[in-house]
A = this chain, B = another copy of it.
Amino acid sequence: MPQSTRLGRHVVIEDGVSIGEHVVIGHHSVILQGTQIRDHVTIGSNCVVGIQPAANERMRKDSDAERNLVIEAGTKIGNLVSLYAGSTIGETVFIGDHASIRENVQIEEASVIGRAAIIELNTTIGKNCTVQTQAYVTGDTTLEDNVFIGPCVSMSNDKYMGAQAYSLKGPIIKQGAKIGNNASLLPGITIGSHAIVGAGAVVTKDIGANTIVAGVPAKKIDA
């Protein structure tokens, strides 16, 4: 560990962790085996970082999830956060308190993941995205660059809710689209670039670029 590292009290760092220069880790945080922390990363208190996926017999397992967690330079992670192995958190990302990010997630630079937001497995988040507080980004989802996901937005990736075999598919949200607070997105839909979804809308179909929708089910409205 470099001399420039600042550790809180009772920090647990397992074997096989790499730590860059000028890293700060708060009290009681746990850095699990294989985690790679680059320069100038800060991690708050009581976090658990680098978790290997677990499951019971009824849950999906991801075979290649034994890879490491990488936290790129300049990223800030809050308190009481959980981060899984097999994901890469890009440079100067911000991750709020109580957030959780699962395995095989890629988050590109300068994106913000809000407080208590959850990012499920196999999801890609572009640059400069904002995922607001308590938002739920389901598995197998794509957010292109500059996407805004409002607070408490909900998504799903399983059309049959476990009842049939189905290739799980989250939404595809194109560049610059904005999703209002507490909107619900159904599995596999595409939200076009710079589209706007109103607060509380339930989006059941693809939405074209530059379109504004609202309501249940969501319909096109004038700006």
Which A residues form the contact surface with B (CB < 8 A)? Answer: 8-10, 12, 26-28, 30, 42, 44-48, 51, 54-59, 76, 78-80, 82, 92-94, 97-98, 100, 110, 112, 115-116, 118, 120, 128, 130, 133-134, 136, 138, 148, 150-152, 154-156, 161-163, 178, 180-182, 184, 186, 196, 198-200, 202, 204, 215-217
Contact = CB atoms under 8 A, between A and B. Distances in A.
B200 A202 contact: yes
A178 B161 contact: yes
Nearest to A152: B154
B59 A45 contact: no
16 contacts: A28-B30, A46-B48, A48-B80, A51-B97, A54-B94, A78-B82, A79-B82, A80-B80, A80-B98, A116-B118, A134-B136, A148-B161, A150-B161, A154-B200, A161-B196, A198-B202
Contacts of A200: 154, 184, 200, 202, 216
Contact of A151 (B76, B80, B154): B154
Which of the listed residues A44, A112, A161 has the most CB atoms from chain B within 10 Å of its own CB?
A: A161
A199 B215 contact: no
Counting every copy of the chain, the complex holds 3
Chain A interface main SS type? loop
Given A9-B12, A150-B161, A152-B152, A199 B181 contact: no
Taking each of A8, A26, A54, A217, which has the highest tally of chain B beta carbons within 10 Å of its own beta carbon? A54
